[in-house]
Amino acid sequence: MRWFKHMTFDVLGDLAFDKSFGCLQRSAYHWWISLIFTNIKFYGALISTRFYPAVDSMLAMLIPASLARAQKAHAQLIVDKVPRRLESTSQRLDFMSTIQANIQASSADSLAIAGSETTALSLAASLNLLIHNVDKMELLVGEIRERFRAYDEITIQTVWDLEYLNAFLNEVLRLYPPIPWLAPWRAPEGGATVCGMWLPGGNLAWAEMTVDLAKVLWSFDVSEPKDEKKWVVWESLRVLMLIEKKPIVVVIRPRAN
């Protein structure tokens, strides 16, 4: 989970704010990552109080002050980053340049969640399913490694027609949606160009998931740990608007050949 979050957060920073957060380079979280999930827990607690309108104001007072402070810090970071990106002289096409005419802090907030947390959760769920279903892992790895002879051949365009990969990710999202109440982000009908890359019409997060999972399984042999106590039963994870994050322990080695 940690490494997927490093990757998705770096991609988000690059595509939304014109600068990677450097999580992979430092092998460390950016402090905003923990704030995002804390912020989600705050909203989850706040929304829960509204099911009891007669006492909602009293229940809201019971929400820990630490959650409220994290929510304010998260909101302030969004407020600081959006104007800085919009004032940039960068001419590259990315998420912010495409929507800047109507951008609001709330839009950037949703983009941060959809572009990092949910994608990392879906990739973690994918890997967790695969390590416990070896026959499906073999089918998917076989499809990827037979199609691509070199790592650099794996791109948004070349993974689009990998039948088993796309079917598998569809099933992962059906079984384990990372954020069940959020509508999918879709490219406009006919597709869109983002950072010079053509995205066919469809879910924008799909491009990231297909490429990332294909590159991981092309590069590494991944299996479950022998100690069953380290296994994660995805169905047992709590839902706090997002799926609860727990470490997904895997055995990972560079592919033999």
C-alpha 219/C-alpha 135 separation (Å) is: 19
| pTM for the whole structure | 0.73
What is the tens place of the pLDDT at every residue in 208-242? 899 999 999 999 999 999 998 889 888 888 777 77
Per CATH, the architecture of 2-254 is what?
Orthogonal Bundle (1.10)
For residues 253 and 70, the model is more confident at 253
What is the tens place of the pLDDT at every residue in 101-120? 555 544 555 566 556 778 88
Highest mean pLDDT among 30-39, 139-148, 177-186: 139-148
Q: Tell me the backbone φ, ψ of residue 194, rounded to 5 degrees.
A: -125, 120
* Structural domain boundaries in the chain: 2-254
Distant-in-sequence, close-in-space partners of 203: CB < 8 Å, separation ≥ 6 = 184, 185, 186, 187
Give the 3-state secondary structure of the chain. CHHHHHHHHHHHHHHHHCCCCCHHHHCCCCHHHHHHHHHHHHHHHHHHHCCCCCCHHHHHCCCCHHHHHHHHHHHHHHHHHHHHHHCCCCCCCCHHHHHHHHCCHHHHHHHHHHHHHHHHHHHHHHHHHHHCCHHHHHHHHHHHHHHCCCHHHCCHHHHCCCHHHHHHHHHHHHHCCCCCCCCCCECCCCCEEECCEEECCCEHHHHHHHHHHHHHHHHEEEECCCCHHHCCCHHHCCEECEECCCCCCCEEEECCC
For residues 191 and 7, the model is more confident at 7
What is the tens place of the pLDDT at every residue in 164-185? 999 999 999 988 888 766 554 5
